Structure 1
Amino acid sequence: MADEQSKDTPEQAAFRQKAKAWIADNQPAEPPVRLPLTPLEIMTEEQLAYLQAWQKAAYDAGLVGCDYPVEVGGGGMTDCQRVANEEMMRARTPYMPNVIGLGMAAPTVFYHGQEELKQRLLPRLFSGEDIWCQGFSEPGAGSDLASVQTFAERKGDKWVINGHKVWTSLAHFAEWMIILLRTDRSVKHDGLSYFVVPIRSALGKGVTVRPLIKITGETGFNEVIFEDLEVDDTFRLDELGKGWQVAMTTLLHERGAGELVTPRSGGMSNKSSHNTSAAALIKLARATARNGATAADDPLLRDRIMQQVIREAGMAGNQRRSRVTALQDNPMRLPLQNKLLMSEIAQDTAGLAMDIEGAASSLYLADPNAPDGGQWPMAYMNSFGFTIAAGTSEVQRNILGERVLGMAKSK
């Protein structure tokens, strides 16, 4: 953190002191209910209300949307969201619940939406008053996103939407959805258009949201059914048939939103009420009895833990590189690389924790004997969603090989 502060501009240094002081004076009380590891697993109104109150307070204090123009509800600053994130992470504040809104919807609306739409939607997105979800995947179109079939038929200045989206995180609470729709069946990529859709107000009137219960027992995922939902053409982003290009804006931010620092990345604290970092692995190993000693005394486990420490340090270095313009030879390189590595590091860290815990890793959240409150088995089971979301690890490697390294396309 000291190294980061030494590189602050005068504006950033002043903002850092302001952010640090406000966070110290406004840390929220302990949550009245257990919070999930990530915002994508929020299940209850009580969890959401607690986290929304925190996001609203942070936004009102100027710690969210810092780098967006004042005209759309932002702070009008330069690279100060990074500073706010660093201070929130250092203080281990709650995470922001509107993760999809901040990390994906905000930059997409900002770069592709009409001015009136930005002014209408972005302030309530930043404040967390309106939760957002993402309508990309379908039962027959996941990694091959351009094959989506949910169709929007034009009727005057309206569009009528019919189809089925799936794996839609936070749809059970979302006011708005960013959605990729087919508007022309005769062509593939050029037949796609991009919209923002109000779904909560349309529940039972063209929109049905059904929860999908995961192996963890959580219901953060949903499927969303559209039946003759009518929306205005003003909710379309960019030109008709340009949906694929707009979706690339969303995906670049989704794949690189581990550290959210600029208008292209929104802003949120990545810390939850739990810690699943390599440092937490060390603490767990020291607290776990094994063969008359602790798991931390096992040389093989120590070696595996250090590998995770090294990988995390490498990721932190990559995040710093992402802020150096001269190193951005290919805008896809770091976002794609970061998404691939972060998801796999998280999965490997949680898997290693399961090995450290041994038989105790089978204990669930409600068991008082579960180490670290049962967070590691939950993190491990949820980690497989992150190596699939925004493109599987296999797809990420293909894209990096073909579009960044210039390798021949796979057959």
Structure 2
Amino acid sequence: YLCAWQKKCYEAGLVGCDYPVEYGGGGHQGFQRIANQEMSRAGVPYLINVIGLGMAAPTILHHGTEEQKRRFLPPLLAADEIWCQGFSEPNAGSDLANVQTSAVREGDHWVINGHKVWTSLAHFAKWMILLARTSRDDKYKGLTYFICPIANTKGVTVRPLIKMTGETGFNEVLFEDVIVPDSLRLDEVGKGWTVAMTTLLHERGAAEGAGGGGGQSLEARIEALIELAKRTRRNGRSLWEDPVVRDRIVRLVVRAEAFRQTFRRARVEALCDHPMRIPLQSKLLSSELVQDIAAVALEVAGPYSTLYLGDDNAPDGGQWPLAYMNSYGITIAAGTSEIQRNILGERVLGLPKSK
């Protein structure tokens, strides 16, 4: 039903607002962020094609050929075709340039062999944005970026990975002599690292609401935490009346408001002194705040925080332990918090590299 939901949002003009009309978009620059924030505030279901919207679409728009843009963007926006991301590997996570999945050219196509891991949505995606090694001569210049067919493709095996929450949102994907036409290559051979940086820039920026809409906003999470504190009684009174609890929650409110105001100001082009600063800060601050909100909620719930989904006695249906466990993945995905700080320090602030 989530595919149908995104399609309805697309038909209502709430998805693809910023994209040119000729590629299936609305042609209204700057509207998508507002639409996403309003959908999050309303608590509507999230947009299922989150990787397509937040990563694949902007990458194709920036690096794709005219034919690729017209072929892939309209069905992506409408959720007629779901996308996944093939970057991480068993030995190439934080060190993304260590990708070993190979692509060997044979005439007008490429033969892909390798192993990708932590691939969200691969179990029902039709396409994957794939980073593969086309040369061993140079770590960075030896990478090339492809659009790879996944669904019902010979040589592609998708295996689910069970998370600690019991969910199966992640997958590992194995490639054995998978054929990809050269027409599905994005940008030039050996330019994969540059294209991948475009993808990561948008993946990190999606945390601020620039990618897919829906889901739960920071404000909604804090409001739910406040309601939990008001309902939870200890020693005969509501925890919302406890000054220590109120102080913990108010600190989260201040951080959320500082986050919102920082990026409202930074979106003014004249104040954007470095293109990487906004998405890097956005990903770092929002992911850590999401984790801290969930941690405080577990403290407020006390022993009841051990009750999980499906237990009638679990506060808020057991969403808080689920949110807490998932929050660790949020601080790791698209680069850990430590990596974000290193990049900000070295590339934005000009500090010496860490040893």
Q: Distance in 1 between matches of 2:227 and 2:162?
A: 32
Answer yes or no: is the 8 Å Cα contact 2:40–2:213 preserved in 1.
Answer: no
Question: Is 1:137–2:88 an aligned residue pair?
Answer: yes
Q: Distance in 1 between matches of 2:15 and 2:271?
A: 27
* Deviation of the 1:90 alpha carbon: 3.7
Question: Is 1:198–2:149 an aligned residue pair?
Answer: yes
Instruction: Encode CA deviations 1:130-154: one digit per residue, 9 max, x unaligned.
Output: 1111110000010000000000000
Q: 1:310 aligns with which of 231, 254, 266?
A: 254
Q: Where does 1:194-273 land on structure 2 (aligned, <5 Å)?
A: 194-202=145-153, 205-260=154-209, 265-271=210-216
Q: Where does 1:50-69 land on structure 2 (aligned, <5 Å)?
A: 50-69=1-20
* Deviation of the 1:256 alpha carbon: 1.0
Gaps of 5+ in 2: none
2:137 alignment counterpart: 186
* Deviation of the 1:266 alpha carbon: 4.6
Counterpart of 2:194, as a letter, is Q
Q: 1:128 aligns with which of 79, 89, 95?
A: 79
2:26 alignment counterpart: 75
Q: Distance in 1 between matches of 2:149 and 2:11?
A: 24
- SS of 1:190's equivalent in the other structure is coil
- SS of 2:224's equivalent in the other structure is helix
Instruction: Encode CA deviations 1:227-249: one digit per residue, 9 max, x unaligned.
Output: 00001001110111000000010
Identity of aligned residues (%): 66
Counterpart of 1:216, as a letter, is T
Answer yes or no: is the 8 Å Cα contact 1:276–1:349 preserved in 2.
Answer: no
Q: Distance in 2 between matches of 1:266 and 1:232?
A: 28
Instruction: Encode CA deviations 1:135-189: one digit per residue, 9 max, x unaligned.
Output: 1000001000000000000000100000000000111111111111100012100
Q: Distance in 2 between matches of 1:291 and 1:197?
A: 59
Instruction: Encode CA deviations 1:46-77: one digit per residue, 9 max, x unaligned.
Output: xxxx1111110111121110111111111112
Q: Distance in 1 between matches of 2:176 and 2:220?
A: 41
Answer yes or no: is the 8 Å Cα contact 1:276–1:350 preserved in 2.
Answer: no
* Deviation of the 1:267 alpha carbon: 4.4
TM-score for the superposition, normalised by structure 2: 0.97
Q: Distance in 2 between matches of 1:408 and 1:139?
A: 29
Change in 2 beyond 3 A, CA 1:61/1:113: same
* Deviation of the 1:259 alpha carbon: 3.5
Q: Distance in 2 between matches of 1:290 and 1:276?
A: 24
Instruction: Encode CA deviations 1:209-255: one digit per residue, 9 max, x unaligned.
Output: 00000110000010000000001001110111000000010001111
Q: Distance in 2 between matches of 1:127 and 1:268?
A: 13
TM-score for the superposition, normalised by structure 1: 0.84
Question: Is 1:115–2:52 an aligned residue pair?
Answer: no
* Deviation of the 1:275 alpha carbon: 8.1
- SS of 1:162's equivalent in the other structure is strand
- SS of 2:332's equivalent in the other structure is coil
Answer yes or no: is the 8 Å Cα contact 2:41–2:220 preserved in 1.
Answer: no
Change in 2 beyond 3 A, CA 1:86/1:392: closer
Gaps of 5+ in 1: 1-49
Counterpart of 1:188, as a letter, is K
Q: 1:378 aligns with which of 314, 319, 322?
A: 322
Q: Distance in 1 between matches of 2:330 and 2:320?
A: 15
Q: Distance in 2 between matches of 1:163 and 1:89?
A: 37
Question: Is 1:153–2:98 an aligned residue pair?
Answer: no
* Deviation of the 1:289 alpha carbon: 1.3
Change in 2 beyond 3 A, CA 1:216/1:266: closer
- SS of 1:271's equivalent in the other structure is coil
RMSD of aligned alpha carbons: 1.4
Q: Number of matched residues?
A: 355
- SS of 2:351's equivalent in the other structure is coil
Answer yes or no: is the 8 Å Cα contact 1:103–1:254 preserved in 2.
Answer: yes
Q: Distance in 2 between matches of 1:388 and 1:62?
A: 32
Answer yes or no: is the 8 Å Cα contact 1:346–1:383 preserved in 2.
Answer: yes
Instruction: Encode CA deviations 1:243-278: one digit per residue, 9 max, x unaligned.
Output: 000001000111111234xxxx45423438x98621
- SS of 2:174's equivalent in the other structure is strand
Counterpart of 2:160, as a letter, is P
Q: Give the 4+ runs in structure 1 shifted more than 4 A.
A: none
- SS of 2:195's equivalent in the other structure is helix
Question: Is 1:340–2:284 an aligned residue pair?
Answer: yes
